[in-house]
Amino acid sequence: MLRTRVITAVVLLVLLLGVLIYGGSTGWNIFVLTVLACAFWEWARLGQFKSTKSILYALLGTGICLLANYAFNLQTQGFPLLAIASVFWVAFAPWCLRNVSVGVLGNHYLFGLVGFMLIGAAGLALIITKTHGIVFLLSTIAICFVADIFAYFFGKTFGKRKLAPRISPGKSWEGAVGGAFSVLAISWVVVLLAGAYPFLESTWQVMAFERWHPAVFSFWLLVLSAYSVVGDLFESMLKRRAGLKDSSQLLPGHGGVLDRIDAQLPVLPLAILLVTAISG
pLDDT at 279 over 60: no
| Residue 230: other Cβ atoms inside 10 A | 21
pLDDT at 97 over 80: yes
Q: How far apart are CA 221 and CA 13, in angstroms?
A: 25
Beta-bridge mates of residue 172: 162
pLDDT, tens digit (0-9, with 9 covering 90-100), for 195-248? 999 999 999 999 999 999 999 999 999 999 999 999 999 999 999 999 999 999
Q: How far apart are CA 142 and CA 107, in angstroms?
A: 34
Pairing state between β 162-164 and 168-172: antiparallel
Query: Over the Cα atoms of the chain, what is R_g?
Result: 18
Q: How far apart are CA 230 and CA 214, in angstroms?
A: 24
pLDDT, tens digit (0-9, with 9 covering 90-100), for 169-195? 999 999 999 999 999 999 999 999 999
pLDDT, tens digit (0-9, with 9 covering 90-100), for 31-86? 999 999 999 999 999 999 999 999 999 999 999 998 887 777 666 677 899 999 99
pLDDT at 16 over 70: yes
The pLDDT of residue 111 is 96
The pLDDT of residue 5 is 78
User: Using an 8 Å Cβ cutoff, are 153 and 171 in contact?
Assistant: no
How far is CA 179 from each of CA 154, 191, 200, 217, 234, rounded to the nearest angstrom? 7, 18, 22, 17, 18
Q: How far apart are CA 3 and CA 248, in angstroms?
A: 19
Q: How far apart are CA 117 and CA 258, in angstroms?
A: 15
The pLDDT of residue 58 is 97
Mean pLDDT for all residues in the chain: 92
The pLDDT of residue 74 is 67
Q: What is the mean pLDDT of residues 118-131?
A: 93
pTM given for the model: 0.94
User: Using an 8 Å Cβ cutoff, are 45 and 54 in contact?
Assistant: yes
The pLDDT of residue 253 is 85
Q: What is the mean pLDDT of residues 129-133?
A: 91
pLDDT, tens digit (0-9, with 9 covering 90-100), for 146-156? 999 999 999 99
Percent of the chain at pLDDT above 70?
96
